[in-house]
Amino acid sequence: MKEKAHILVVDDDPDIIDTSRIILESHGYNVQAATNGQEALTALKDKKPDLMILDIMMATETEGFDLAYDLKENPEFEDLPIIVLTSFLDKVRTEGPGQFEYILGEQWPAHWFFEKPLDSKKLLAKIEEILSES
Protein backbone atom coordinates (compact mmCIF):
# COMPACT_ATOMS: atom_id res chain seq x y z
CA MET A 1 0.00 0.00 0.00
CA LYS A 2 1.40 3.37 -1.04
CA GLU A 3 2.10 5.82 1.80
CA LYS A 4 0.15 9.07 1.68
CA ALA A 5 2.09 12.12 0.57
CA HIS A 6 3.20 14.46 3.34
CA ILE A 7 2.47 18.17 2.78
CA LEU A 8 3.73 21.03 4.92
CA VAL A 9 1.44 24.10 4.92
CA VAL A 10 3.13 27.32 6.08
CA ASP A 11 0.83 30.30 6.64
CA ASP A 12 0.28 32.79 9.45
CA ASP A 13 -3.50 32.75 8.89
CA PRO A 14 -5.10 29.98 10.99
CA ASP A 15 -8.15 29.94 8.70
CA ILE A 16 -5.95 29.15 5.69
CA ILE A 17 -4.20 26.40 7.63
CA ASP A 18 -7.51 24.90 8.81
CA THR A 19 -9.07 25.09 5.35
CA SER A 20 -5.99 23.63 3.68
CA ARG A 21 -5.85 20.81 6.22
CA ILE A 22 -9.52 19.90 5.65
CA ILE A 23 -9.15 19.95 1.85
CA LEU A 24 -5.87 18.06 1.75
CA GLU A 25 -6.71 15.44 4.39
CA SER A 26 -10.06 14.75 2.73
CA HIS A 27 -8.05 13.85 -0.38
CA GLY A 28 -5.74 11.48 1.46
CA TYR A 29 -2.73 13.69 2.22
CA ASN A 30 -0.92 13.87 5.53
CA VAL A 31 -0.71 17.51 6.58
CA GLN A 32 1.65 19.29 8.92
CA ALA A 33 1.31 23.02 9.59
CA ALA A 34 3.61 25.86 10.56
CA THR A 35 2.65 29.48 11.19
CA ASN A 36 6.00 31.08 10.33
CA GLY A 37 9.37 30.42 8.78
CA GLN A 38 11.03 29.28 12.00
CA GLU A 39 8.29 26.72 12.71
CA ALA A 40 8.62 25.54 9.12
CA LEU A 41 12.36 24.98 9.53
CA THR A 42 11.72 22.95 12.67
CA ALA A 43 9.09 20.87 10.87
CA LEU A 44 11.44 20.33 7.93
CA LYS A 45 14.14 19.01 10.25
CA ASP A 46 11.66 16.57 11.79
CA LYS A 47 10.46 15.18 8.46
CA LYS A 48 11.04 16.32 4.91
CA PRO A 49 7.65 16.73 3.23
CA ASP A 50 6.86 15.64 -0.30
CA LEU A 51 5.61 19.16 -1.04
CA MET A 52 5.27 22.50 0.73
CA ILE A 53 2.52 25.11 0.38
CA LEU A 54 4.01 28.42 1.44
CA ASP A 55 2.57 31.86 2.16
CA ILE A 56 4.85 34.75 1.22
CA MET A 57 3.81 37.56 3.53
CA MET A 58 3.83 36.50 7.16
CA ALA A 59 5.76 38.36 9.90
CA THR A 60 7.48 40.32 7.12
CA GLU A 61 6.46 40.93 3.52
CA THR A 62 9.15 38.53 2.33
CA GLU A 63 9.34 35.88 5.06
CA GLY A 64 8.07 33.15 2.73
CA PHE A 65 10.42 34.20 -0.06
CA ASP A 66 13.33 34.24 2.37
CA LEU A 67 12.51 30.71 3.52
CA ALA A 68 12.10 29.44 -0.04
CA TYR A 69 15.41 30.99 -1.15
CA ASP A 70 17.18 29.42 1.85
CA LEU A 71 15.69 26.01 1.06
CA LYS A 72 16.67 26.20 -2.62
CA GLU A 73 20.28 26.87 -1.55
CA ASN A 74 20.29 23.88 0.81
CA PRO A 75 21.18 20.61 -0.98
CA GLU A 76 18.83 18.66 1.32
CA PHE A 77 15.81 20.73 0.23
CA GLU A 78 16.73 22.13 -3.19
CA ASP A 79 14.38 19.65 -4.89
CA LEU A 80 11.45 20.26 -2.52
CA PRO A 81 8.43 21.31 -4.60
CA ILE A 82 7.04 24.60 -3.27
CA ILE A 83 3.64 25.97 -4.14
CA VAL A 84 3.28 29.61 -3.21
CA LEU A 85 -0.11 30.61 -1.87
CA THR A 86 -0.32 34.36 -1.55
CA SER A 87 -2.29 37.56 -1.72
CA PHE A 88 0.96 39.23 -2.81
CA LEU A 89 -0.14 39.76 -6.41
CA ASP A 90 -3.33 41.46 -5.23
CA LYS A 91 -1.22 43.66 -2.94
CA VAL A 92 0.97 44.66 -5.90
CA ARG A 93 -2.16 45.52 -7.91
CA THR A 94 -3.67 47.64 -5.13
CA GLU A 95 -0.51 49.27 -3.72
CA GLY A 96 1.57 49.45 -6.88
CA PRO A 97 4.81 47.63 -7.66
CA GLY A 98 7.18 50.31 -6.33
CA GLN A 99 7.69 48.93 -2.84
CA PHE A 100 8.06 45.40 -4.17
CA GLU A 101 10.65 46.03 -6.87
CA TYR A 102 13.36 44.37 -4.81
CA ILE A 103 11.31 41.15 -4.95
CA LEU A 104 10.03 41.46 -8.50
CA GLY A 105 13.54 41.91 -9.84
CA GLU A 106 14.73 38.55 -8.53
CA GLN A 107 14.19 35.05 -9.80
CA TRP A 108 11.45 33.62 -7.64
CA PRO A 109 12.21 30.41 -5.72
CA ALA A 110 9.03 28.58 -6.73
CA HIS A 111 7.40 27.60 -10.01
CA TRP A 112 3.78 27.45 -8.92
CA PHE A 113 1.73 30.37 -7.57
CA PHE A 114 -1.85 30.41 -6.35
CA GLU A 115 -3.63 33.56 -5.29
CA LYS A 116 -5.85 33.84 -2.25
CA PRO A 117 -8.71 33.17 -2.08
CA LEU A 118 -7.77 29.66 -3.01
CA ASP A 119 -9.31 27.61 -5.80
CA SER A 120 -9.09 24.20 -4.12
CA LYS A 121 -9.80 22.18 -7.29
CA LYS A 122 -6.94 23.82 -9.18
CA LEU A 123 -4.63 23.44 -6.18
CA LEU A 124 -5.44 19.74 -5.80
CA ALA A 125 -4.90 19.14 -9.51
CA LYS A 126 -1.52 20.88 -9.37
CA ILE A 127 -0.48 18.92 -6.25
CA GLU A 128 -1.38 15.63 -7.96
CA GLU A 129 0.55 16.67 -11.07
CA ILE A 130 3.65 17.67 -9.10
CA LEU A 131 3.66 14.54 -6.93
CA SER A 132 3.14 12.24 -9.90
CA GLU A 133 6.25 13.72 -11.53
CA SER A 134 8.49 13.18 -8.50
- Residue 79 is part of a domain; what is its CATH number? 3.40.50.2300
Surface-to-core class of residue 75, CB atoms within 10 Å of its CB (0-12 exposed, 13-18 middle, 19+ buried): exposed
pLDDT in tens, the chain (134 residues): 357 899 999 999 999 999 999 999 999 999 999 999 999 999 999 999 999 999 988 888 778 888 998 999 999 999 999 998 877 666 655 665 555 555 545 566 777 878 888 889 999 999 999 999 87
What is the pLDDT, as a whole number, of residue 56?
85
- 1 within some domain: no
- 79 within some domain: yes
Number of domains in the chain: 1
How far is residue 10's CA from residue 34's CA, in Å, rounded to a whole number? Answer: 5
Domain range holding 16? 6-133
How far is residue 54's CA from residue 13's CA, in Å, rounded to a whole number? Answer: 11
Q: What is the pTM of this model?
A: 0.85
